[in-house]
Structure 1
Amino acid sequence: MRAANPEYLLAALRSIIKAKGLTYRELADRLGVPLSTFKRHLYSPNITLEKLLDYCQEADASLDELQKLAIKLQHDNDSFFSHTQDEVFYLFPQLYDFYRELRHLRNQDSYDYMRKKYGLDKTSTYAYLRALEMLGLVKLAEDNKIQLNGPYYYRFSDDSKLSEKYKDILKEQALENPNCVRVGFSRMYLKEDQLESLNKLLAKEVLKYHSENMQSEATGEELLRNVLLFVTHHQPLTFSDGISALPNSFLQDIRKTIVQFEEQGA
């Protein structure tokens, strides 16, 4: 059996704790560890083996059980950002916006494209890319060629701060509108004939449900609905105020942040 990454071992431990109905405070009290320290340890990939074994024992879980669950989580969730990547992107949203656009470029010289589109100098462009390389998401070549690492699409984990921020932005943009739609997609490549097919499909389904409710006498003012299909041009959803020139301390700040999250609880 291959070894699981420390991050997934911790995710497995958190899952076991939750499944057994235990609380962090309960376990921290039993172990004589401050709650804040215990929480940090559960997210620190540099946790010592001794601490990990202590926590497993207190949660009544064997190391073999933890390893098997961690392997499954790692297999299922390889498209998730790591805790460190998520935290860094949350604290430096312009870096995440840069990365999101970089991943969606097609058949273009991404280095020159990003530099020219956002009016970046070579120093700032390199700083963005070097920060992503430090996070393990890109690999830089000497000729400014960029190799993207990992799957094309990344997902947010349940406890992702980026996920919460994404929801907040969507809510601000759309969900607080009294006429908001119930279902929404963005960045969809659709032709006019495909949109027409969707219109026909929606009309058919709405009329079918309407007829069923009429026949079953499931009617009344509270059930009356206006159903509209909105199709608009995609507007980019950004996490920052924009991709712009970076301060000279940017890479140093990124490095410190990565070290901070990777060494917590070590």
Structure 2
Amino acid sequence: MRAANPEYLLAALRGVIKAKGLTYKELADRLGVPLSTFKRHLYSPSITLEKLLDYCLEADTTLEELQKLAIKLQHDNDSFFSHTQDEVFYQFPQLYDFYRELRHLRHQDSYEHMQQKYGLDNSSTYAYLRALEMLGLVKLADDNKIQLIGPYYYRFSDDSKLSQKYKEILKEQALENPNCVRVGFSRMYLKEEQLEALNKLLAKEVLKYHSENMQNDATSQELLRNVLLFVTQHQPLAFSEGIASLPNSFLQDVKAAIANFEEQGA
């Protein structure tokens, strides 16, 4: 059996605790550790094996059972950002904006493209890429070629800070758009299964039109839309105020943040 990533072992343990109806406070009291410390341990990939075994014992599970659950979680969720990646991107949103655009570039000269488009000097360009390398998302070569690591598309988990921020920004964009197209009905008598049928019908029709336009090469920027039961003109969604030159302390700050998220519970 292949070993699961430590983050998924901890996610599996949190799942076991929830499934058994236990509370973090209850387990922390049994173990004689502060609640805040116990919570940090449950999200720290650098947790010691001894602590993990202690927590398994209190949660009435075994490391072998946890491993099986963790491997399934890892298989199902390989496209999710890890807890550390999510936290670092949330703390340094310009780094996420840089990474998102980098992943969608189709040519090989992405280093030069990002540098020229945003007026970045060599130091800032390298700092962005080195930070992404520290997060395990890219690999840098000596000739400035960039190898992307992981699946092409990443998703936000339900409890992700990035997910919440994305929804807030998208909602604000949509609702404040003066040209927003809305269709509203009031006092409609609809059953839950009928609402579900409408959701499926709408999704099917939207995807059909999207596929037709893609096949016809009608992919201009003017046609991009956000569809959220109302339609708005698409706007680039940025988490930061823009990709710009970085302070000299940026890499040191990112390194410290990664260490904090991964080692605070060690």
- Into which bin does the TM-score normalised by the smaller protein fall? 0.7 to 0.9
Change (3 A) 1:180 1:164: farther
Contact 2:121 2:245 in 1 (8 A): yes
Q: Is 1:62 matched with 2:84?
A: no
Kept after mapping to 2: 8 A contact 1:111/1:146: yes
Name which of 200, 210, 213 aligns with 1:191. 213
Q: Give the SS at the match of 1:191.
A: helix
Maintained 8 Å contact 1:174/1:180? no
Indicate the residue corresponding to 1:251 in structure 2.
251
Match of 1:173 in 2: 173
Deviations along 1:119-161, one digit per CA (max 9) or x if unpaired, are 1111111110111111111111111111100000001112211
Q: Deviations over 1:89-120 (max 9, x none)?
A: 00000000000000000124101110111111
Q: Give me the TM-score of the superposition, normalised by structure 1.
A: 0.80
The structure-2 alpha-carbon separation of the partners of 1:132 and 1:195, relative to structure 1 and needing over 3 Å to count, comes to closer
For the aligned residue pairs, the C-alpha RMSD in angstroms reads 2.7
Q: Distance in 2 between matches of 1:240 and 1:131?
A: 16
Matches of 1:113 and 1:195, distance apart in 2: 24
Once residues 157 and 20 of structure 1 are traced to their aligned partners in structure 2, the CA distance between those partners, rounded to angstroms, is 22
Amino acid paired to 1:127:
A
What does the per-residue CA deviation read over 1:227-257, in whole Å, with 9 as the maximum and x for residues that have no partner? x97463x321000000000000001111111
Measured in 2, the distance between the counterparts of 1:129 and 1:189 equals: 34
1:79-118 paired onto structure 2 within 5 Å: 79-118=79-118
Deviates more, 1:37-46 or 1:107-116: 107-116
Partner of 1:211: none
Shift of 1:19: 1.1
Q: Is the Cα–Cα contact under 8 Å of residues 12 and 69 in structure 2 kept in the other structure? A: yes
> Which of 1 and 2 has greater Rg?
1
SS at match of 1:156: coil
Counterpart mapping for 1:48-59 below 5 A: 48-59=48-59
The answer on 1:143 being equivalent to 2:143 is: yes
Looking at structure 2, the residues matched to 86 and 262 of structure 1 have their Cα atoms a distance apart, in angstroms, of 12
2:224 corresponding residue in structure 1 = none
Give % identity. 78
Determine if the alignment matches structure 1 residue 161 to structure 2 residue 183: no
Note the 1:221-236 alignment, pairs <5 A.
Answer: 230=231, 232=233, 234-236=234-236
Question: Paired residue for 2:37?
Answer: 37
Gaps of 5+ in 1: 197-227
C-alpha separation in 1, matches of 2:48 and 2:214: 58
* Cα distance between partner residues in 2 of 1:116 and 1:46: 39
Instruction: Classify the secondary structure of the residue corresponding to 2:158.
Output: coil
Indicate the SS of the match to 2:66.
helix
Change in CA separation of 1:105 and 1:195 when aligned onto 2, cut-off 3 Å: closer
CA contact (8 A) 2:174 2:232 kept: no
4+ residue segments displaced more than 4 Å: 175-185, 192-196
| Corresponding residue of 1:208 | none
- SS of the equivalent of 2:119 reads coil
CA-CA distance at 1:189 after TM superposition: 8.0
The aligned amino acid for 1:93 is P
Q: Describe how 1:71-86 pairs up with structure 2 within 5 A.
A: 71-86=71-86
